[in-house]
Chains A and B, each alone.
Chain A
Amino acid sequence: DTAVSQTPKYLVTQMGNDKSIKCEQNLGHDTMYWYKQDSKKFLKIMFSYNNKELIINETVPNRFSPKSPDKAHLNLHINSLELGDSAVYFCASSRAGTAYEQYFGPGTRLTVT
């Protein structure tokens, strides 16, 4: 009965590779998010996706791209991985928009070597 799930939990890869992280929510929510938590534990939003409308944090490099095959899924694709991409990535969801409670996935720890 997991609400928001992510795969994989851990991802170790080399610089220059392309990787994807998957996220699924079974809460029937309309909005999904991707966050990055860096080594200092600071949590920053990367994307929000609501009813096919994508809101991008302007600081996110265009090597990062979210893809939503349907309302329950929002996957994160990362091209040409760099050392600085090492972090924990969290997926979250909520009912439509920011007026509602967010529910987070368990996170994916990405290590780029």
Chain B
Amino acid sequence: KQEVTQIPAALSVPEGENLVLNCSFTDSAIYNLQWFRQDPGKGLTSLLLIQSSQREQTSGRLNASLDKSSGRSTLYIAASQPGDSATYLCAVPYGQNFVFGPGTRLSVLP
């Protein structure tokens, strides 16, 4: 059974800091991992999809890495801004479905 965890559960940082969010999964036989953000009362917005053949994927100030052998992915956010405040979730495929982590709630203080 695939289980996904995320650390930390919540994070509060001052504006401008670089930060790292962590995602761990128990079954390393995955072929991709997706990072999402969810704003309060809203749906999920896809940030990055990283394939198992890739080690990193970048979009603007976001960089996601994937280490299948250790069952980990990290999402690096550079120069954080108040607009980055949201919950960040990772998800991996399992069978014909997806398993989501519980999310990291990020607050970036002005």
- Residues of A whose CB lies within 8 Å of any CB of B are 4, 33, 40-45, 48, 50, 55, 57, 90, 92, 97-107
Contacts and interface: CB of A to CB of B under 8 A. Distances in A.
B46 A103 contact: yes
A43 B100 contact: yes
Interface residues of B, number: 24
A111 B98 CA distance: 25
B43 A98 contact: no
23 contacts: A33-B98, A41-B103, A42-B100, A43-B89, A45-B97, A45-B98, A45-B99, A45-B100, A48-B96, A50-B96, A55-B96, A55-B97, A90-B43, A98-B31, A98-B96, A98-B98, A102-B46, A102-B91, A104-B44, A105-B43, A107-B41, A107-B42, A107-B43
Given A101-B49, A104-B45, A48 B87 contact: no
Nearest to A98: B93
Interface of B: 31-32, 34, 36, 41-46, 49, 87, 89, 91, 93-100, 102-103
